[in-house]
């Protein structure tokens, strides 16, 4: 069976995030997982370290990312690589923060 391309609209994926959730994994194929994170002001990012490397792309908003012992500001257009098993989380956003993430397996 031949694989087909898959098309996604970010707005649709954001709309599928429930009020009591903050992310949506929308793609999982052989060696790649992708999703979108929506963090409202005051909402806590509760993620724990992952077994896979991860790449973040900030689509909208600004805030901060703590990765290991480093803390840096992120904003629209920021791209951050976080190695597997490194503790990390977003925080301090005063506006809606929308982040596209991709895991490599």
Which domains, and CATH codes, for the chain? Answer: 27-104 (2.60.120.10)
- Residues 38-73 pLDDT 10s: 999 999 999 999 999 999 999 999 999 999 999 999
Confirm if 64 and 73 have CB atoms less than 8 A apart: yes
- Residues 90-103 pLDDT 10s: 999 999 999 999 99
Confirm if 45 and 54 have CB atoms less than 8 A apart: no
Confidence of residue 2 (pLDDT cuts 50, 70, 90): confident
What's the predicted TM-score (pTM) here? 0.85
Average pLDDT for the chain: 93
């Amino acid at each position: 069976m031949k694989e087909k391309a898959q098309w996604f609209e970010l707005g649709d994926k954001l709309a599928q995030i429930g009020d009591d959730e903050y992310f949506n994994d929308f793609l999982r194929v052989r060696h790649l997982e992708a999703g979108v994170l929506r963090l409202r002001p005051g909402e806590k990012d509760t993620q724990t370290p992952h077994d896979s490397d991860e790449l973040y792309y900030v689509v909208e908003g600004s805030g901060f990312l703590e990765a290991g012992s480093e803390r840096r500001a992120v904003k629209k257009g920021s791209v951050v690589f976080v190695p597997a098993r490194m503790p990390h989380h977003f925080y301090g956003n005063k506006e809606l923060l929308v982040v596209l993430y991709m895991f490599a397996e």
